């Protein structure tokens, strides 16, 4: 039976100022997915984890994404996917995007790579929509392309790959669940013009800072006037996490996606570990369980081993 095993990685969406448009892929953690070709037009989903995710294909992120692939092919084929989730659902580091992106990436290998990376992002978005209740590709695009991506437009889909310097990432994951669909409802549909001006200035400057490898410009640009002022209230001790991380030498950071994870960027591994210690110190006083990871940006995208 034709099958492939792939490892889609966690991702950080928004990158502070780029709500719904900027994102980057993390080296770790990654889910494990085995996609198998079937000789009947059907989709089957098997989970080998204890997160209680639905396995009916039409309710499962990977299942919906695989159905979107099947809708594009004429042959009488189908897919079975076995998923071992390592990226905890609701953690804010692109768990649903990894399932959707991994599913379409694996299916594409089995079909002889007939789809481009942009096609795969478009197909995976059908799955992501099941989880977040809205179309956005700021986790899926970096998961598939790797590195840092900017989704300039969804319709038509236009993904821009952004160059970046050496960056280390510290992520704290408080063991709370925030549903993206709920966190999106908190946001006001309109942004005052003054805040919008500051926001797009920062998005432009962040992209320039990344491409010029200008760490000071990156630091000056990591400010959010849209989501963080509302969503940070959902994350215990968010302001302290940020303050102590910056004091420990982080370039900047904020909520990862819709939270509750919080990420910080640093120039080197020593600083990233100091930031991790600072985060632990803040959270040790909260009584909330948490995990802290120090990792880097994954330049490759979905891994094949």
Q: Which residues are catalytic?
A: 128, 180
**Contact region with ligand HSE (CB under 6 A), list: 12-20, 70-78, 198-206, 269-277:** 12-20
Q: Which is nearer to ligand HSE, 20 or 31 (CB)?
A: 20
Q: Which of 108, 149, 258, 266 binds ligand HSE (CB under 6 A)?
A: 258
Q: Is 20 in the site for ligand HSE (CB under 6 A)?
A: yes
- Of 227, 225, 254, 228, which is closest to residue 242 (Cα–Cα)? 254
Residues in binding contact with ligand HSE, number by CB under 6 A: 14
Q: Which of 257, 274, 295, 298 binds ligand HSE (CB under 6 A)?
A: 257
- Are 221 and 205 in contact by the 8 Å Cβ rule? The answer is yes
Q: Which of 6, 8, 9, 13 binds ligand HSE (CB under 6 A)?
A: 13
**Contact region with ligand HSE (CB under 6 A), list: 117-125, 131-139, 234-242, 266-274:** 131-139
- Tell me the sheet residues that pair with 46: 82
Q: Is 99 in the site for ligand HSE (CB under 6 A)?
A: no
The token pair that represents 21 in the structure block:
């448009």
Give the angle 83-84-88 at the CA atoms, nearest 5°.
Answer: 115
Q: Is 136 in the site for ligand HSE (CB under 6 A)?
A: yes
Sequence-separated (6 or more) residues with CB below 8 Å from residue 180: 96, 131, 132, 133, 257, 258
Q: Write down the least CB distance from residue 94 to ligand HSE, Å.
A: 6
CB atoms within 10 A of CB 292: 17
Q: Write down the least CB distance from residue 18 to ligand HSE, Å.
A: 9
- Are 61 and 54 in contact by the 8 Å Cβ rule? The answer is no
Q: Write down the least CB distance from residue 216 to ligand HSE, Å.
A: 26
- Are 218 and 206 in contact by the 8 Å Cβ rule? The answer is yes
Restricting to residues 142-181, which ones interact with ligand HSE according to CB under 6 A?
A: 180
Restricting to residues 218-247, which ones interact with ligand HSE according to CB under 6 A?
A: 227
The token pair that represents 72 in the structure block:
């594009």
**Given its phi and psi angles, is residue 270 left (phi above 0), alpha (psi -120 to 50 degrees) or beta?**
alpha
Q: Which is nearer to ligand HSE, 83 or 97 (CB)?
A: 97
**Contact region with ligand HSE (CB under 6 A), list: 38-46, 130-138, 240-248, 275-283:** 130-138
Q: Scanning the structure block, which residue is given the tokens 């500051």?
A: 198
Q: Write down the least CB distance from residue 285 to ligand HSE, Å.
A: 27
Instruction: Using CA atoms of 182, 183, 185, 190 in order, give the dihedral in degrees to the nearest 10.
Output: -170
- Of 129, 178, 121, 160, which is closest to residue 18 (Cα–Cα)? 160
Q: Which of 9, 14, 108, 202 binds ligand HSE (CB under 6 A)?
A: 14
Restricting to residues 35-74, which ones interact with ligand HSE according to CB under 6 A?
A: none
- Are 291 and 87 in contact by the 8 Å Cβ rule? The answer is no
Q: Which residue is nearest to ligand HSE (CB)?
A: 257
Q: Scanning the structure block, which residue is given the tokens 């821009």?
A: 160
Q: Which of 44, 179, 184, 220 binds ligand HSE (CB under 6 A)?
A: 184
Instruction: Name the residues that contact ligand HSE, by CB under 6 A.
Output: 13-14, 19-20, 132, 136, 138-139, 180, 183-184, 227, 257-258
């Amino acid at each position: 039976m034709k099958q492939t095993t792939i490892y889609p990685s966690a991702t950080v969406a928004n990158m502070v100022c780029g709500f719904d448009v900027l994102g980057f892929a993390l080296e770790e953690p990654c889910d494990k997915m085995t996609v198998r070709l079937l000789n009947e037009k059907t989709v089957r989903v098997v989970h080998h984890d204890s997160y209680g995710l639905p396995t009916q294909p039409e309710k499962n992120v990977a299942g919906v994404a695989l159905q979107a692939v099947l809708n594009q092919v004429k042959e009488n084929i189908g897919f079975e996917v076995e998923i071992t989730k390592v990226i905890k659902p609701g953690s804010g580091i692109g768990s649903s995007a990894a399932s959707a992106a991994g599913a379409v990436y694996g299916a594409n290998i089995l079909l002889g790579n007939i789809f481009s990376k942009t096609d795969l992002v478009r197909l995976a978005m059908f799955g992501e929509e099941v989880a977040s209740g809205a179309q956005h590709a700021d986790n899926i695009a970096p998961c598939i392309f790797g590195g840092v991506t900017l989704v300039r437009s969804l319709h038509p889909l236009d993904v821009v790959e952004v160059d970046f310097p050496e960056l280390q990432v510290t992520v704290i994951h408080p063991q709370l669940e925030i549903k993206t669909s709920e966190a999106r409802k908190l946001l006001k549909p309109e942004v005052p013009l003054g805040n919008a001006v500051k926001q797009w200035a920062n998005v432009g400057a962040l992209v320039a800072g990344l491409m010029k490898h200008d760490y000071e410009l990156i630091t000056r640009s990591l400010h959010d006037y849209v989501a963080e002022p509302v969503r940070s209230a959902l994350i215990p001790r968010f302001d302290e996490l940020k303050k102590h991380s910056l004091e420990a030498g982080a370039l900047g950071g904020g909520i990862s996606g819709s939270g509750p994870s919080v990420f910080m960027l640093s120039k080197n591994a020593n600083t990233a570990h100091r930031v991790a210690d600072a985060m632990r110190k803040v959270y040790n006083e909260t009584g909330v369980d948490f995990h802290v990871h120090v990792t880097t940006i994954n330049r490759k995208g979905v891994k094949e081993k």
